[in-house]
Every structure is written in C-alpha cells, then in structure tokens.
Amino acid sequence: MPDSERGIYRKLFSTFARIGAFTFGGGWAMITLIEREVVEKRGWIPRDEFLDLLAVAQSLPGILAVNISVAVGDRLRGMRGSVVAALGTIMPCFFIILAIAIFLTPDLIQNNRVVSAIFSGIRPAVVALIVAPVITSGKAAKIGWKTVWIPVLAALLIWSKWPVVSNPILYVILGGLGGYLWLRRQERRLHMANLESASRKEIAELDKKEKEEQL
C-alpha cells in the first residue's frame, strides 16, 4: 500500500479516535466535532455533502456517531475507509467505558466529592454539545420557517408522555410515510408538467404545419 494511502487511513483513524475519546454526551455531541474536523479542518467533504450524509446517517438504525463515521470513511476510501473510521470512533469509547466499569463504581461517583464535581462540570458542556447539532440537523433536513412547526410539535408530543402520541417510533413511521407521499405527489406533478409540455409542443407543431399549408 502506498505511503499516501497509509497516511489517509492513519488520519481517518486518529481523527475519529480523538473525537470518540474526548466527546461526552453520545452521538449527537460528536456531530459538531466531526463537522469541524471533516469539513472545516481537513476539507475532506464539502459542507452540503456532509449535511446530506448526516441526514442519511440519522435515517439509518444504529449509533449516529458510528453511522456518520462509516459514511465519511466510505466517501473517502470505500469499505476500508469506513471500517477504519468506525474503529476509530468505537475503540476509545469502548476502553473508556471498560475502565469506568472496572474502577468507577456508582458509590464512588456519588460519594467522592472530586469525581462528583468533575461530572457536574461536564454536564453543562454536554448540553451545549448536544444542542449544537440540532442546528446542523435542521440544515440537513432543510427546515425553514414554514416547516419548523413539524419538529417542534413532534418534540412536544414526545415530551408530553401521553399514551401512543408520545412514542417516537410513531413519528419515524409518519415521517417516512409523509416523505413517500410527498415524493409521489412531486412525481405526479412532474408527469403532468411533462404531459402539458408535450401537448403544447404538439399544438405548436400542428399550428406550424397549418401555416405552412396555407402558404
């Protein structure tokens, strides 16, 4: 394998390993750091394409951070790139969680003032890291002032804890169904527009022939 190829794999692994090691708050908290590294710092993917990949990663089952790392790795170096990026994301988290499970018991976290203070200080930063990707996600979904009521209403209904309507799976299904119906509507409109265009073209050709015959 050429040195340049090894270099891109090393950069992929180290970039996602650094993100996985120093991000608290789960997959959503990683999105801002991934965007900064992949789009702004490395320039591997244009911002618009990153937002499209983020939308695809959100639509798929599984861990969001792993999904987006796989998408970025595949975009750069295919299957090998996706495996390297996914390993970079997963391995630091795995070893950190393993260390916490071995050395930090719930009693130690609650009763040790130093450990409790550290986690209390981390919580506000985690909230900020989770809130920031909401804006990125909104851009990926192309949400504007006319459609912002949809996620707001869905979030309020989920938060309400009411039976049935508070189930997030319901909105995933409704969202998929709504997207399918919207696509079918757009296809019908495009088909009708093509028919109208063809009809106008035929009428124009007939008019042209009539004029030529009169001459």
Q: What is the pLDDT of residues 110-152, one digit of tens each?
A: 777 777 777 777 777 777 766 766 776 676 667 777 777 777 8
Q: Where are the domains of the chain?
A: 1-142, 144-215
Q: What is the pLDDT of residues 41-54, one digit of tens each?
A: 888 888 878 877 88
Q: What mean pLDDT comes out for the span 156-176?
A: 82
Secondary structure of the chain in HEC code, one letter for each residue: CCHHHHHHHHHHHHHHHHHHHCCCCCHHHHHHHHHHHHHHHCCCCCHHHHHHHHHHHHHCCCCHHHHHHHHHHHHHHHHHHHHHHHHHHHHHHHHHHHHHHHHCCHHHHHHCHHHHHHHHHHHHHHHHHHHHHHHHHHHHCCCCCCCCHHHHHHHHHHHHCCCCCCCHHHHHHHHHHHHHHHHHHHHHHHHHHHHHHHHHHHHHHHHHHHHHHHC
Task: Specify the pLDDT at position 109.
Answer: 67
Q: What is the pLDDT of residues 85-119, one digit of tens each?
A: 889 888 888 888 788 777 776 676 677 777 777 77
Q: Which residues contact 14 (CB under 8 A, 6 or more apart)?
A: 88
- 88 with 15: CB under 8 angstroms? yes
Q: Which residues contact 3 (CB under 8 A, 6 or more apart)?
A: none
